[in-house]
Structure 1
Amino acid sequence: MNRNKEFYFSQYENRKPDPPVPHNVWIEFLWQITAVAAVTLGGWYLFWRWTESLNYDALWFAIPVVCAESCAFLGMVLFFNNLWSMRDVAPQSAPITLSEVIVDGGDQPISVDIFIPTYTEDPELTRYSIQDAKKITYPYAIDINIYVLDDGNRARMRKIAAQENVHYITRESNIGYKAGNLRNALEHSSGDFVVILDSDTRPFPTILENTLGYFKDKDVAWVQTPQWFYDVPEGITLDIYLEQRIGLIGKSVGRFVQIFLGPVSIGKDPFVSDPKLFYDVILRRRNRANASFCCGAGSIHRRDAVMEAALKAYATQIQQTVTAYSCNETDHSISNTLKREFSVSTEITPYKFHVSEDIYTSIILQSDTERNWKSVLHPHVESKMLSPLDMHSWAMQRYKYAGGTLDILRNDNPLFRSGMTFQQKLMYAMTFWSYLAPLWNCIFIAAPLMALFTGISPISSYSKEFFLHLIPFLVMHECASAFGTWGIDNRKGRTLNLAFFSFNLRAIWAVLCGREIQFHVTPKQRRSGNFLYLVWPQICVVVLTIIAMFWAITLQVISPDPRQTAALVVNGFWAATNAYAMTVLIGAALWKPSNDSLIRIDVKNRRWFRRA
């Protein structure tokens, strides 16, 4: 009997993921040429900015702006280094016996544990993941065990696990968040490899057949597969949207507009949840430096690697604690006593107890000075999952990502760890630097408004020399960005990165204040209403931009000043661009799925059903 309830995503069951972007050597060559040109022109522009263009009458304004430009330039360099070339790890055929993937392994079948951590998610939602995990196939004999890891300790979840004939594990406390849940599961299982899913992650039948071959290289510690949100609203193109409302004339207008702007979709996912850029470009190109990190759901781990790293961390922690407490380091009897005491009170943590346990565990493994642990980003999608469905859920998820990553930067900076190569450190530096971007993005948002309100400029003059330095760099930067992310439209994503400044600032402030970044499960149901209260800083930017433009234009009309014309044009365009970015996020706060009228929320059960 099919016990599944019908959720909103039932209508998307037949969706298929796009294949990975193919590697094109000619596009890569053009990308590398334009990237070098962009970096060269950017360096030339910055040198000119620092040496010849500062407004010495307003250094309080000029210095922060040029510092922000320098920080952004460094971020661009790190990003370009990440994207420099694509070197996929060659896939291997599925291993037949344990000896092919484990040192000193025998001829017995490989054993795999599939972990499905859950906490507050709807148990019926988790049933879908369980059932799809049961459909996993393999061309040879294999021992697969499925474990539901219920940190909510719910009778309903236990019942579903029993109905589906899978293992059920719970614990008395929720210490360590998801990492603690996984650690607890490792103690109650014994598979050679571990597949980590989320409660809404539904694996494809091929996930093991297509990934276990990588572990024939016995230094491979984990394989990450791309996450794919199959419920993302696709929207309709502008020409079809206008045709439905005003007929053939609208269709013609829509097509004409898209000739210049490219494809324009109405009703498309406003949060740019599609992570294709991250997995298919950023993380995939880290394969060349053995620097792709684990992202949790959809990853496959070698148990020996995780446990070995945990034991080393355990021993190191005991030694550090003994050193801190020992009054006389030469007194071996005291040290030995302390070691015995702390060995009992200290817990082994295979997955670092942290809100970002996935990337943290990756850092620990990749910085192991005694082992050459490798990671692989498998480019093909092997599972599907649900996206954040409202502004609150989306913001919560992004805040967790930012706060967790920055907490690692502050408290256990991998850039100062021994064991990593220089290229690996550069890759992690790019990740951390990107989360610090709001610090200079705030300056980029405030600078044109300040110039419009006061008439003071951060540069000496908007002369021909200024445009000759700036425009070639901007043009080449756009060309490099297009070739570097070829096959993926990231225009809206770049816009949202600027607009998201207020949320990342909160994360930065929380980390600086030493606050713990709490683990919150991303809701799997859409909350009703609008979320304008979450984007009040963005609304303020838009309002201030309108006022500043009106003020500057009025002053120019009343008291014309030819010297201020160029400043008005440059800063007006800059401010308008920033305001447009803010409106994208404001629109996301007001967004509702086109089929909201067909759906209601069962508040008691927190479940979505179609109306009859």
Structure 2
Amino acid sequence: MDDYFRHFEHRRPPPPLPYSARREALWQILATIAALLGAWYIWWRWTQSLNRDALWFAVPLVVAESCAYLGLLLFIYNLWKDQPVAIPTPVAMLHETLTPDSNDLSAPDRPVAVDLFFATYNEDPELVRLGIIDAKAITYPHPIDMRIHVCDDGRRPEMRAVCDQEGVNYITRATNEGFKAGNLRHAMEQTSGDFIVIFDADTRPFPTLLEHTLGYFRDPKMAWVQTPQWFYDLPEGVTLTDRLSRRLGTVGRLVGQAVERVVGEIRIGKDPFVNDAEMFYQVILRRRNRANAAFCCGAGSIHRREAVMEAALRSFAASVEKRVIAAEEEITLTSRESMVDTSLLSAIRTEAVVAEVLAPYRFHVSEDIYTSILLHSDRERGWKSVLHPTYESRMLSPQDLLSWSVQRFKYAGGSLDILVNDNPLFRRGLTLPQRLMYATTFWSYLAPLWNVIFLAAPIVYLATGIAPVSAYTLPFFLHAIAFLISLELAMMAGTWGIAGYASKSSYLSFFPLGLRAIGTVLSGRKISFPVTPKDRQHGRHLRLVRPQIAVVALTLAALLWGISALLWRDTGHSVTGVVTNALWGFNNCLAMSGIIRAAMWKPEPEPTGDHDA
């Protein structure tokens, strides 16, 4: 096992972002201004600024800007309001989690029973052992029936041996049907806890996990609680001073110190893959609590068994009915009879029941968000969810671009597959706020379609002198700059001080994977179920960033051509046009450079000496 992460055992997660009513009010004011200026800009772009001599260029760009603006409005709605951080009092007995008028004699007043599932396939058993050891250290202020289960889809004797040594239950099955979702379904069939905690093979829970989360289930409609995922192995990088000192000695150290005195500390190699999930959990998902739209993200989530099973039964019944209706329609069309014989219809229904699979977690590459949509749309029960703000576990992050790409493609492809084949935006049962929150997620995965245009636009102008706007004059700059400045100020306030440039750059440079995911889904091909590697995949992965390298190369070549064209003065280039597109292209190149560097990233030499315990 590559146990590089043992050097980071001393790290502790940050506290949850504190809530501030004043800061929230400032954010809402600035966001409103940015939205209004953005609408003003988009209206002006459509009505007064198009280059009508080059509509082939002007129209795609303004469409891309309009799509991005719609995404901005959805993002503002997502971030609009937060809630104070509060940890509920843990429940003492099972009856505290049930409806007040519950007369279920099969569930007498007793301590809560919790099943902890470690889902694993091919990960190192010694890595899973670390999570088991931490799970055994979970504490609770009241008596509790806690059972740890390792759900091994790899059917490995060595994994069973680890479970025997640690005294936890080992669960396996003969096939891998449904992959992780099927693994969890099989585990549920073998267990009976009131609540289920889902861990990945590398998840290491903190002792407070249950104490801080089971209190949410005092609300009998609370279906699941998602806790933030914290990656404790993120590379910290080295300062510019240290890097130059190693390579150039005293001269390098002096140069590095001089630069950092002016611009502040510069860290090279810090979180090269932008894995830090604080923005997603503490800002984006946390603010979906107000709309009851915080979806499940898998590891670190706690589920009410009743909710999961009831949703599965409803989905099962709906799927069976769908099969029966389809068969009935086919028979009536073929036979031209107005009705199907009742005995035949009964036989069809029986066959549909046998053919359909009862799956507590849908057999889908994004089973987490799929199940979330299913539960949120159950209006009869009114199931709820919540993002608990405090970090209650630690995990390992992708440590190379290959692993990162596998994970991100799975996320994008799985979400887009849901959008195309079972669109939640039109699903009955979801409230309007929930639809808007899910729309924000799915819309973000469509962004590569217009991000490609943003990347190509400065290249086209610099190479040809053809502008997408009527002119780069004062009205253009007034509209564009006013909007961009207001947007940056709003985002600084809205993200509660978390730096966002790295995330925005990663979002832009994601376009090749995003386009591939879109193409895969639209072509009808299934998204595979790859397991994200937990070990570092050594080597450079420049082949994975060829499109990003091409963007940089084409932008630089076009810039040289654009500057030369200004000197020749026989093209359509203007000074303001070249400068504007040069700055735009430079920003694009800067965004691409992050992922290109990540492809070549190698960890700094680890400190010598014994591993931390």
Q: TM-score, normalised by structure 2?
A: 0.94
Residue 27 in structure 1 maps to residue 23 in structure 2: yes
CA distance in 2, matches of 1:214, 1:257: 48
Give SS of 1:41's match: helix
Aligned to 2:377: 367
1:363 aligned partner, one-letter code: I
Residues 425-444 of structure 1: pairs in structure 2 closer than 5 A:
425-444=435-454
**Equivalent of residue 249 in structure 1, options 245, 251, 254:** 254
More divergent stretch after superposition (434-443 vs 101-110): 101-110
3-state SS of paired residue (2:397): coil
CA distance in 2: counterparts of 1:273 and 1:501, whole angstroms? 17
How much does 1:88 deviate?
A: 5.0
369-378 vs 298-307, greater mean Cα deviation: 369-378
Q: Which letter does structure 1 place at the counterpart of 2:327?
A: Y
Per-residue deviation at 1:560? 6.7
Partner of 2:316: 314
Assess if the C-alpha contact under 8 Å between 2:111 and 2:145 holds in 1. yes
Does 2:35 correspond to 1:14?
Answer: no
SS for the counterpart of 1:115 is: strand
- Please tell me the residue identity of whatever aligns with 2:315: A
**TM-aligned CA deviation for residue 242 of structure 1:** 5.0
* Partner AA of 1:268 in structure 2: K
Letter in 2 for 1:97: M
1:482 counterpart (466, 480, 492):
492
Q: Quote the Cα distance in structure 2 between the aligned partners of 1:107 and 1:246.
A: 71
State the distance in 2 between where 1:257 and 1:267 align. Answer: 20
Contact 2:465 2:572 survives alignment (8 Å): no
Could you say what the CA RMSD is over the residues aligned between the two structures, in angstroms? 1.8
Counterparts in 2 of 1:163 and 1:424: CA distance versus 1, 3 Å: same
Deviations 1:458-509 (A, max 9, x none): 0000011111111010000000111111231121111111111111111110
Q: Who is 2:136 aligned against?
A: 134
Alignment partner for residue 430 of structure 2, among 403, 420, 430?
A: 420
User: After the TM superposition, which segments of 4 or more aligned residues of structure 1 sit over 4 Å from their partners?
Assistant: 239-245, 560-563, 596-599
List alignment gaps of at least 5 residues for structure 2.
333-338
CA gap 1:88/1:318 in 2 versus in 1, 3 angstroms: farther
Single out whichever of 327-336 and 528-537 deviates more from structure 2: 327-336
Q: Does 1:335 align with 2:345?
A: yes
TM-fit CA distance, 1:531? 0.4
Q: Which residue of 1 aligns with 2:414?
A: 404
1:529, distance to aligned residue in structure 2 (A): 1.2
SS in 2 for 1:195: strand
Equivalence for 2:202: 200
Residue 378 and residue 303 in structure 1: after superposition, are their counterparts in 2 closer, same or farther (change >3 A)?
same
Distance across 2 between alignment mates of 1:55 and 1:22: 48
SS in 1 for 2:19: coil
Distance 2:586 2:300 in 1: 40
- The question of 1:118 aligning with 2:114 is answered no
How far does residue 558 in structure 1 lie from its aligned partner after superposition?
2.1
User: What pairs up with 1:26-45 in 2 under 5 angstroms?
Assistant: 26-45=22-41
Query: Which amino acid in structure 2 is aligned with residue 484 of structure 1?
Result: G
Amino acid at match of 2:11: R
**Pairing 1:77–2:77 present:** no
SS of alignment partner, residue 301 of structure 1: strand
Match among 553, 575, 579 for residue 569 of structure 1:
579
Structure 1: how far apart are the matches of 2:278 and 2:346? 52
SS at match of 2:113: strand
Report if the CA contact (8 A) 2:200-2:299 is conserved: yes
Residue of structure 1 in register with 2:147 after alignment: 145
CA contact (8 A) 1:97 1:106 kept: no
Q: How far, CA to CA, are the matches of 1:177 and 1:598 in structure 2?
A: 40
Residue of 268, 271, 293 corresponding to 1:291 = 293
Q: Which amino acid aligns with 1:394?
A: W
Is contact 1:287–1:375 with CA below 8 Å preserved after alignment? yes
Letter in 1 for 2:94: L
Aligned to 2:58: 62
Contact 1:88/1:287, CA 8 A, preserved across alignment? no
- Paired AA for residue 80 in structure 2: W
Q: Which amino acid aligns with 1:256?
A: R
| The 10-residue stretch of structure 1 (400-409 or 91-100) with the greater mean CA deviation from structure 2 | 91-100
Q: Which runs of 5+ in 1 are unaligned?
A: 600-608
Q: CA contact under 8 A between 2:31 and 2:76: conserved in structure 1?
A: yes
Please give the secondary structure, in 1, of the residue aligned with 2:54: helix
Q: State which drifts further: 385-394 or 247-256.
A: 247-256
Q: Deviations over 1:295-346 (max 9, x none)?
A: 0000000000000000111111111111111235553332222222322332
Tell me the distance in 2 between the aligned counterparts of 1:426 and 1:233: 35
1:504 to 480, 498, 514: 514
Task: Give the letter for the 2:267 counterpart.
Answer: S
Q: Is this contact kept in 1: 2:565–2:573, CA < 8 A?
A: no
Quote the residue 1:549 is aligned against. Answer: 559
How far apart in 2 are the matches of 1:6 and 1:397? 19
Q: Deviations over 1:51-84 (max 9, x none)?
A: 0000000101100000000000001110111000
- Return the TM-score normalized by structure 1: 0.94
Q: After the TM superposition, which residues 77-116 of structure 1 pair with which residues of structure 2 at under 5 Å, given as runs?
A: 77-88=73-84, 90-103=86-99, 104=102, 105-116=107-118
Contact kept in structure 1, 2:33 and 2:486, CA below 8 Å: yes
Q: Residues 561 and 353 of structure 1: is their aligned pair in 2 closer, same or farther, counting only changes over 3 Å?
A: closer
SS at match of 1:210: helix
- Aligned AA for 1:501? F
Contact 2:205 2:394 in 1 (8 A): yes
Which stretch of structure 1 is more off in the superposition, 109-118 or 547-556? 547-556
Q: In structure 2, do the counterparts of structure 1 residues 6 and 454 end up closer, same or farther at CA, with 3 Å as the change threshold?
A: closer
Q: Deviations over 1:344-385 (max 9, x none)?
A: 332210001000000000000001131110001000000000
What is the rounded CA distance, in whole Å, between the counterparts of 1:241 and 1:135 in structure 2?
Answer: 40
Q: 1:45 to 1:75 in 2, by over 3 A?
A: same
Tell me the percent identity: 55
For 1:145, what is the secondary structure of its paired residue? Answer: strand
Distance between the aligned counterparts of 1:334 and 1:148, measured in 2?
A: 44
Instruction: Decide whether the 8 Å contact of 1:88 with 1:284 is kept in 2.
Output: no
Q: How many residues align?
A: 594
Distance 1:344 1:462 in 2: 66
Which residue in the other structure is 2:336 paired with? none
Q: Secondary structure, in 3 states, of the residue corresponding to 1:371? A: coil
Letter in 1 for 2:440: M
Deviation (angstroms), 1:559: 2.2
Find the residue that maps to 1:486 and give its secondary structure: coil
- Flag the 1:396–1:6 CA change in 2: closer, same or farther, 3 A: closer
In structure 2, what residue type is equivalent to 1:518? Answer: S
Structure 1: which amino acid aligns with 2:514? N
In structure 2, the residue matched to 1:266 is 268
Q: Whole-Å Cα distance in 1 between the matches of residues 357 and 520 of structure 2?
A: 27
Letter aligned with residue 321 of structure 1: R
Q: How far did 1:513 drift?
A: 0.6
* CA–CA distance in structure 2, aligned partners of residues 19 and 36 of structure 1: 29
Q: 1:376 aligns with which of 368, 380, 386?
A: 386
Q: 1:390 aligns with which of 400, 403, 416?
A: 400
Equivalent residue for 1:227, pick from 208, 226, 229: 229
Aligned-partner Cα distance in 2 for 1:137–1:563: 69
Aligned 8 A contact 2:18 2:84 in 1? no
